[in-house]
Amino acid sequence: MKNKALYESLVSAAQSVIDGDGDAVVERMQVWLKDSIPIMSRSAVEAWNLDWYASIALEDYPVWQADAGEELLQLIRFEPSTEDSLAMAIRDVFWHSVSLETAVECPRCRDEYLRVLVKPSTDEIVLACDACSWAQTTTGRRWEESELLRPASRSAIGNLKLTNPELFVHSK
Ligand SMILES: [Zn+2]
């Protein structure tokens, strides 16, 4: 790991969050991320959209503190070998803690439930699989655009639950 100081600072921040009361894990890691972006390489920050995760108002997103804690434990156990993989792991912490799973099983790999994402330029909802990168519209049409998708906000999810409640009903 080239950027040793960055990783050590992440481990120390993550450790204090994990050793703490388990509260506000995501909020505390966002503070760490804001402080750390200036010492990260721009290419890694941009490749994994970290500016966006540092800037979002967390109250606008569904926040899963326990999922963030699990991702952080992984990061402490396995040191990423490059700064890019560290940036990806940081993105994973936020990705799993601010995105919502639907009840729709991935039609391609059947390993995961699709997550509710949005296409930033149009706010269109896209459902996507973490495991195999399958993506589709809410009506099941395959999505093949290259625009980087983001987790959907609480209000976008609220609207989707009204227009497509079936997406959130587990069939078995
Ligand atoms: Zn899949």
Q: Are 79 and 112 in contact (CB under 8 A)?
A: no
Q: How far is the CA of 117 from the centre of ligand 1 (A)?
A: 15
pLDDT, the chain, mean: 92
**Using one digit for the tens of pLDDT, what is the confidence trace for 130-161?**
999 899 999 999 999 999 899 999 999 999 99
User: Where do runs of H (alpha helix) occur along 20-172?
Assistant: 25-36, 42-47, 50-55, 65-77, 83-98, 154-163
Contacts of 68 (CB under 8 A, 6+ apart): 25, 26, 29, 93, 94, 96, 97
**Per-residue model confidence (pLDDT) at position 67:** 85
Instruction: Using a cut of 0.75, tell me whether the model's pTM lies above it.
Output: yes
**Ligand 1 ion local residues (Cβ < 5 A):** 106, 108-109, 129, 131-132, 134
Is pLDDT above 70 for 172?
no
**Using one digit for the tens of pLDDT, what is the confidence trace for 75-112?**
899 899 999 999 999 999 999 999 999 999 999 999 99
- Read off the pLDDT band of 21 (50, 70, 90): low
Share of the chain above pLDDT 90, in %: 74
Q: How far is the CA of 128 from the centre of ligand 1 (A)?
A: 8
Q: How far is the CA of 3 from the centre of ligand 1 (A)?
A: 33
Instruction: Give, rounded to a whole angstrom, the gap between the first and last alpha carbons of the chain.
Output: 44
The SS3 of residue 17 is helix
- Read off the pLDDT band of 125 (50, 70, 90): very high
Q: How far is the CA of 113 from the centre of ligand 1 (A)?
A: 8
Q: How far is the CA of 53 from the centre of ligand 1 (A)?
A: 24
Is pLDDT above 90 for 70?
no
